[in-house]
Amino acid sequence: MNLPTQSGRFLYRKNKSLRHILGLIVFFAFSLMDADNLRSYLQSGVSSYGQEDSEPTLIYSTKNNVSVFSKRTRKDATPVESDNINEQEDRLEVDNPGENEEENSSLKNSLSIAEESLSSDVAETSEFALAPPERDVDVLIDMRHAYDFSDYPLTIDDRLYHRIYSFHRAFAYLKSQGVQVEKYESDEPLSDEILSRCKTLFLNLPSGDKEPFLLSELISIKKFVEEGGSAFFIVDHTNCYFHQSRLKPLFHELDIEPQYYGICDATQNIGSGYGWIYLNKFTPGPITDNLRKIAFQTGGGVDPRFAVVWSSEASWQDSANIPIYGEADLGYFGNFIRDSEEKIGANGAVLAKKIGQGKVVVVGDQNMFSPFFLQYLDNYRLWINSFAWLLNEPELGNPQKYVASGVDEKRVLCWEEFGPNAKRFGDPDPKGYYNVFAALCRYYNVFCIANDDSEIGLASNVLIWIDANETTSQEGIEFAYKQLKEGKTLLVLDPSDGVLEKVESPIVAIVRRLEENGVRTSEPTEEVEEAASAFAKTIEFSNGGRIMALHGKSSFDNSNVPAPESKPLFSQQENLNTLLKTIDLELDEKREESR
């Protein structure tokens, strides 16, 4: 306590009761401090205690954890006054030369008691610090600064956007491999002690209505990473939900520059819009191992200095026009049109970085890991590669293990084409097929593939094409031929006219090739004929394989199947039910045949 004025010193010397009271106040103040803060106080002098850090990150803190903050102050600050307790006592005697020595003893006694307490506490603290941290949690999901819905599996009837786009399936694989996942939901700030229990901190899209990062948290997270911990951050387009504003102080500490734009591309877009894109430019490394294509549902950029996944050279940075006070839809989309001031060129979409002994991954889209898009192209491989690297467990990144983890579920394969004018399951536009793909994900374990991955066990008795026409790739034809030769089923969802008869049809070419290799067409069984008569034209093969060209009451494109967050109308559900019945019949029949 400073008494700098002459009047204050006069009152102190002349009032015996006041001196006793002041001594008690100092004693209780010291007794409430922890060991680190008390030592910092005694070494740096009264006026330096709690002095604000001069580093810029201080402005992001609204409330400091004094213990962590004082350690940083103690390291960087030069003591303003005295260095030890004896000098503190000497200064008291200078202020009171030769008088009232008896009364001064109360203050000296307080300091002596505090010193003894300090020595005891420091001994206990040092002994505790020697024990290595018990990291009993592999992944800690931060819910103090962001929302998390990974507890919610995708169900048939749930339509709540944030629940159905959760990371439940993604985390289910990690848990199936023995990874311990916990959530941090406490009001207490993240600290050294809390983070010492985990290996990886997971943070998805911090929200403007959640807690901001305190200065103590920034220090603890940075220390956690530098000393061997890891972090997985998910960002998104522009500054939606103010997530970039929330992350900026933390990213500053980790030397990561936040990006405030969405990535748009008119050359690698999945639909007619330019936000849903695929990415196939990778920097070799553990994160990108065995990736061929991944896809974003309107994602954002990452710091290009550390990027390992890139958009094409034709992509651009789509900025959002955010009004003052954020008075707009918090989604903060751009206009999906390249304006003259928007930069064109390859943009970082995923980054991987080492910081000290630790590692950090930042991914530019949250929906790519949802139940509807996790198993679209190689998105799941990016997920498992990332955690294999962050947790130092290479086997987590084995795609064969990932595929095998869902072996008990009914699996369906959808084939995706990327040629010009091709219809796509990843297309959200009215003439696209994303909605029916998402609907199938509610009932089956669906993979949307553009490669033959049978070598890792990725196979199914049912393969679905949207159409069979001139846009069908040779690789797609080869995979369908292999499927049928093995006695499996090919469903054509919305076939063009004459798909089973026209000479130029890929289906006709496949049938001819099968016959050349000894697989003959045959008459459909009575059961199949009855099931298919009102819904499909069928070609049966002697080995049990089957081609079914469906013709529902209406198309299965997005104009006839509602988005995942909308409930289907009765007629839409009826049409969908017929498709589900057909798939179930094929899966169950093939399963019986294999026994």
The backbone torsions φ and ψ at residue 549, rounded to the nearest 5 degrees and listed phi first, read -95, 105
Based on the domain organization, do 125 and 142 belong to the same domain? Answer: no
Distance CA 196, CA 321 (A): 41
Here the tokens at position 352 are 């991987």
How do residues 220-269 score in pLDDT, each as one tens digit? 999 999 999 999 999 999 999 999 999 999 999 999 999 999 999 999 99
Based on the domain organization, do 381 and 296 belong to the same domain? Answer: yes
Distance CA 279, CA 28 (A): 62
Question: Per the domain annotation, does 465 fall within a domain?
Answer: yes
Strand order in the sheet with 137-142: 181-184, 137-142, 198-204, 230-234, 358-363, 348-355, 307-310, 281-282
pLDDT band of residue 66 (cuts 50, 70, 90) is: very low
Mean pLDDT of the chain: 82
Closest CA to 541 of 492, 507, 572: 507
Based on the domain organization, do 121 and 144 belong to the same domain? Answer: no
Q: What is the mean pLDDT of residues 405-431?
A: 94
Residue 561's CATH number: 3.40.50
Give the residue from 100, 130, 160 where a domain finishes: 130
pLDDT at 118 over 90: no
Question: Per the domain annotation, does 95 fall within a domain?
Answer: yes
CB-count burial class (<10 Å; 0-12, 13-18, 19+) for 180: middle
Residue in the block written with tokens 């950029």: 301
Question: Per the domain annotation, does 588 fall within a domain?
Answer: yes
Closest CA to 509 of 452, 551, 552, 547: 547
HSE-CB of 395 using CA atoms within 13 angstroms: 5
22-31, 134-143, 395-404, 557-566: least confidently modelled range: 22-31
pLDDT at 522 over 50: yes
Q: What is the mean pLDDT of residues 384-398?
A: 98
Based on the domain organization, do 352 and 482 belong to the same domain? Answer: no
Based on the domain organization, do 243 and 351 belong to the same domain? Answer: yes
Give the residue from 370, 401, 432 where a domain finishes: 401
Question: Per the domain annotation, does 184 fall within a domain?
Answer: yes
Q: Which amino acid is at 502?
A: K
Q: What is the mean pLDDT of residues 465-475?
A: 94
Could you give the angle at the alpha carbon of 222 between the alpha carbons of 218 and 223, nearest 5°?
Answer: 115
Identify the pLDDT of residue 254.
Answer: 98
Based on the domain organization, do 499 and 535 belong to the same domain? Answer: yes
Give the residue from 100, 115, 130 where a domain finishes: 130
Chain centroid to CA 167: 8
Chain centroid to CA 561: 28
Q: Tell me the three state secondary structure of residue 522.
A: strand
Which run of H or E residues covers position 104?
Answer: helix 101-130
Tell me whether strands 411-415 and 462-465 are parallel, antiparallel or unpaired.
Answer: parallel
CB-count burial class (<10 Å; 0-12, 13-18, 19+) for 275: buried
Based on the domain organization, do 380 and 419 belong to the same domain? Answer: no
Residue 373's CATH number: 3.40.50.880
Contact between 262 and 273 (Cβ < 8 Å): no
Question: Per the domain annotation, does 374 fall within a domain?
Answer: yes
Distance separating the N- and C-terminal Cα atoms of the chain: 85
Distance CA 59, CA 64 (A): 11
Based on the domain organization, do 443 and 377 belong to the same domain? Answer: no
pLDDT at 318 over 60: yes
Based on the domain organization, do 102 and 146 belong to the same domain? Answer: no
Question: Per the domain annotation, does 40 fall within a domain?
Answer: yes
User: Which of 447 and 11 is assigned the larger pLDDT?
Assistant: 447
Identify the domain containing residue 74 by its residue range.
6-130
For residue 510, CA distances in Å to 87, 465, 481, 498 come to 94, 14, 6, 15
Identify the pLDDT of residue 445.
Answer: 98
Based on the domain organization, do 298 and 327 belong to the same domain? Answer: yes
Report the C-alpha dihedral over residues 296, 297, 300, 302, rounded to 10 degrees: -20
Tell me whether strands 230-234 and 198-204 are parallel, antiparallel or unpaired.
Answer: parallel
Question: Per the domain annotation, does 1 fall within a domain?
Answer: no
User: Which of 321 and 148 is assigned the larger pLDDT?
Assistant: 148
Based on the domain organization, do 378 and 510 belong to the same domain? Answer: no
User: How many domains is the chain built from?
Assistant: 3
Tell me whether strands 137-142 and 546-550 are parallel, antiparallel or unpaired.
Answer: unpaired
Identify the pLDDT of residue 530.
Answer: 57
Distance CA 247, CA 226 (A): 18
Question: Per the domain annotation, does 75 fall within a domain?
Answer: yes
Based on the domain organization, do 523 and 562 belong to the same domain? Answer: yes
pLDDT band of residue 330 (cuts 50, 70, 90) is: confident
Identify the pLDDT of residue 41.
Answer: 41
Identify the pLDDT of residue 408.
Answer: 83
